[in-house]
Amino acid sequence: MSTILTDTQIEHYQREGYLVLNNFVSAEWLARLNEVTGEFVELSRAISESNGQFDVEPDHSAEAPRLRRLNSPVDQHPIYWEFSSQSEIVDLAEAILGPDIKFHHSKLNFKYPRGGEEVKWHQDIQFWPHTNYDLITIGVYLQDVVEGQGEMGFIPRSHAGDLYDQYDGDRWTGYIQDRDLGDVDTENAVFPTGKAGTVTIHNCRMIHGSFPNNSDLQRPLLLQTYTAADAFAYTDLVRGKGHGEELIRGKTARWARHDPRPCLVPPTKIGTIFQAQQKESVNNMM
Ligand SMILES: O=C(O)CCC(=O)C(=O)O
């Protein structure tokens, strides 16, 4: 029995594949996360192109930083790890995944004003296939997000539908191909907005994406992915790297649980979703 989510909220997640909780993260946590995030933006002024730490837009510069992503924040500062492994969002993960939980990975997607990259419609699990689909990503808006600010969009109930091929021929693209988009109910997509601290939870099969940021405000979105302990990864994308696949609640599973629905497997080097979707060279593993 969860005390942090009502039965109705859990049923909503199970039926629709996503859930939104307004003002969920405390002001104290937001202040700590925003402070450390500001420090990383300052650090990014020293680089001119993407590296293992930062993924930057092509016109990123020391004078005007334009970050797409801080890669694996939990491995870069203990505050992000404390948040991802011990804060109230782990209670949310437990309410949905059960008591035994592994951390998988995290990322901080910025979406700078008047640009920010579009994230094309995609499903996450083809990036990191597992033996079952009990994986969720919890997103936290670190600042207020209004319509047009590059908010994330979800296609309700798409988690219960097909998994799509995110290759174009031999090339890993990280998005659903135009040839398949006709089958996807994009007209009924929902684009949740909310105050800083608003949380989104989505299932790893959910079709989701986001438009460029047309506003004058940044849209920092801190995303962390959790797995049920008995979901085992088919690839070693994060295994043995930083906190990847670390048990954060409950017990280690001795038996893998297998969902009969097959999962597409990505190439060994996939880069970030931005690098894959924008056809850029891959210079890191996430
Ligand atoms: O930052 C966003 O708007 C979406 C990011 C996303 O879906 C992803 O990184 O998988």
Closest atom of ligand 1 relative to the 69 alpha carbon: 1
Is the beta carbon of 21 within 6 A of some atom in ligand 1? no
Residue 24: per-residue pLDDT: 97
Is the beta carbon of 124 within 6 A of some atom in ligand 1? yes
Closest atom of ligand 1 relative to the 124 alpha carbon: 10
Please state the φ and ψ torsions of residue 171, each to the nearest 5 degrees.
-95, 125
Closest by CA position to 68, among listed 202, 212, 206, 209: 212
Is the beta carbon of 67 within 6 A of some atom in ligand 1? no
In the predicted model, what is the mean pLDDT of the chain?
Answer: 95
Give the contacts of 191 (CB within 8 A, at least 6 positions apart). 147, 151, 152, 153, 154, 210
Indicate the burial class of 108 (C-beta count within 10 angstroms; 0-12, 13-18, 19 or more). buried
Task: For the chain, list residues with pLDDT below 50.
Answer: 284-285
Q: Is 38 helix (H, G, I), strand (E, B) or coil?
A: helix
Pocket test for ligand 1, best of 68, 104, 109 (most atoms within 8 A of CB): 109
Q: Has this prediction a pTM greater than 0.75?
A: yes
Report the nearest-CA residue for atom 9 of ligand 1.
273
Percent of the chain, pLDDT > 70? 97
Tens digits of residue pLDDT in 123-148 = 999 999 999 999 999 999 999 999 99
